Amino acid sequence: MNKTTVKIPFVDLKIQHQPIETQLHQAIHAILERGDFILGQALADFEAAFAAASGAEYGVGVASGTDAIALGLQACNIGAGDEVILPANTFIATLIGVLRAGAKPILVDCDPKTALIDLSAAAKAITPQTKAIIPVHLYGQMVSPRQLLDFADTYKLLIFEDAAQAHLAERDGYRAGSVGIAAAFSFYPSKNLGAFGDGGMLLTRDPDVAQKMVRLRNYGASQKYFHVEPGTNSRLDTLQAAVLLEKLPHLPQWNRDRLTIAQQYDIELAPLASAGIIPVQNQSDSGHVYHLYVIKVDESCVVERQQIQDKLTADGIQTGIHYPIPCHLQPAFTYLGYQQGDFPQAEKLAQQILSLPMYPGLSSSQIKEVVAAIANIALPSSNTEDDSSVAIGSRAA
């Protein structure tokens, strides 16, 4: 079977790393020289720097974004008997983090325009056992902090941000990680700020939460060999922290590059709106950091999303779907009792969304090529009668 040559990758980290390759090697070499591989100086420096950049007081590095959620909720004293509200359309790590903390996840639907949590739906899900809400700052766009703070004040809930896709995102005068009592970040390699492997961090303004998190990530120890609570081993490696510390000063420019790319996508895609190709709405202006650029292939489009994705793949253009199955329909979590139809907006989005190539260094000509390939199949007028490989007509129900 012939393998299609990739012309435009979904993510290209080489473009990002090449200009700072020497500095990255030097940062790693410094750790090799010092030998402080676990809980070393570079970790402490990165924790302080990332917290300051995000508008938080404290940062605690852990092994993954999932651990940042699970241990972070525990550090906020959320556990057995507590209910935590979260959106159904998020990466499964958000749900797993709540379960690992021992709390009960309460899923709710989303806003179809932004794909962010629907706070009116969240309000209807509150019970006397509800203790916290997890707003997922999806695709690089924050849930409105003003609305969140009003919501939390009205219902007396903790705000625990899932900011895994929103490094330095801004909205309403707040940065991601500075709104709630705590926030979880991921440094998976493809994130806006990515490590050379897995990594995560909890940010918080509360010194007690920070200190408990420090214990939980290190076997529950308040000092060596003195364990005051059942913790685990989840520490951000010093090597990874050194890489992240070197990359952090470049993050604002990388985010600006992503915004510029998204703005060109918006312009190029505008003529396709009448054909049912609609970008997920940006309500944050320049505060959106576009970890992902996501379009919707809605009911008015003459072809299905899968046909568009297949066509792009055949043209050497990589895409993704974030996410194809909402949390409540994942086989592993049927025991939670949710069913098809419970969250119609999340289910509908899962069938429509398509993530286009997005990374600093994506060129203007590449963006035009991506959009032209979409137009070639989505616009009937751009297809010839001889092109039998494209199915034009009414979409299947």
Residue whose token pair is 């009116």: 120
Residue 191 bears catalytic tag: yes
Beta-strand relationship, 130-133 and 83-87: parallel
- According to DSSP, the residues that pair with 354 across neighbouring strands are 295
Distances (CA, A) of 162 to 50, 136, 200: 16, 5, 11
- According to DSSP, the residues that pair with 317 across neighbouring strands are 8
Active-site pick, 104, 131, 191, 212: 191
Q: Do 360 and 12 form a contact (C-beta atoms < 8 A)?
A: no
Sheet holding 104-108, edge to edge: 58-62, 200-204, 182-186, 158-162, 130-133, 83-87, 104-108
Sign of the CA dihedral with 278 first, then 164, 362, and 376 last = negative
In the chain, the largest separation of any two C-alpha atoms, in whole Å, equals 75
Catalytic residues: 191
